[in-house]
Amino acid sequence: MKDYPAIPHATAAPDRIFESGHLWLLEKVDGEPFRFQVRSSGLLRFGDRNRWYDDPNAVPQPYQHAVSHVRANLERSALRDAVDDSESLVFFGEAMHRQRIDYDWDRMPSFLGFDVWNDDTDRFYPPDTVEQIYERLGLYPVNAFERERRARDFDLESYTVPQSHWYDGPAEGVIVRDKRGTRAKILHPTSDDLEDPVQEVATAAQLVERYATDERIAGVAATLEARDGAVTLEALHERVLEAIGREANHQLYRADGAVDMDAFRSALWDALRRWMDGQ
């Protein structure tokens, strides 16, 4: 099983990437490594950078929003039509929840794909094919700043990392790819200055009050109603919890376990019941 591809800094990358061919310049996003595979049975298998989870329910809670997103949006029929053996493919991407950059979480998908590995050919697909695969499967590929730029026209020393597609600020960096599989990364000059978000001391009730806003609840409810035709308290609780977990990942899933998640879920349940009673 292929591991996550190592990406050297552009100054340490093989010279050939800038000598010939054409380059794709992709936004380097500030998420966490996340991958999945479609088993021959049709069941999904998920993994982070270091391990696979045969049971989707065993995936750590901070990644569950990405699990739900892939499950809900993956067009399995399109995958079956495209390949004979879906289990030969591994889909690599990022689970997009709060790290150092505070993205526009209402727009940012839970999963952004950037690579597809084929065990049968023992290689990654080229970037143009990767983009087409994810779009065909109903998932979002990492956005491209530029496609098919002539490598010889690319000047590393004068290149400026663009603004992010996902918030009002600079991208964390750029991933440079060619169709031979060579990769390099260019980091924004301020990327080393980014700091982890502050973990404030707050109770479960205070966090619910802060993050379970009427606007957020109404937005999630509208999405559920459009998809399912009705909104149940159980579905609303699950989806709002995922939405809050993405934005407040640094608060809810602290390494010190300071937040009582059972208390948070209970307080959120009460807040959602009050919201539904008021509709």
Q: How far apart are CA 170 and CA 31, in angstroms?
A: 15
Phi, psi (degrees; rounded to nearest 5) at 170:
-70, 150
In the DSSP assignment, the letter for residue 6 is: P
Neighbour count for residue 162 (Cβ, 10 Å) = 14
The SS3 assignment for 148 reads strand
CB 208 within 8 A of CB 189: no
β-pair type (173-177, 22-28): antiparallel
In the CATH scheme, what architecture does the domain 10-192 have?
Answer: 2-Layer Sandwich (3.30)
Q: How far apart are CA 48 and CA 275, in angstroms?
A: 35
Domain map of the chain by residue range? 10-192, 204-273
Q: What is the pLDDT along the chain (279 residues), one digit of tens a residue?
A: 567 778 999 999 888 899 999 999 999 999 999 999 998 888 899 999 989 998 988 999 999 999 999 999 999 888 888 777 788 899 999 999 999 999 999 999 999 999 999 998 899 999 999 999 999 999 999 999 999 999 999 999 999 999 999 999 999 999 999 999 899 999 999 887 777 777 777 888 999 999 999 999 999 999 999 988 889 999 999 999 999 999 999 888 877 767 888 999 999 999 999 999 987
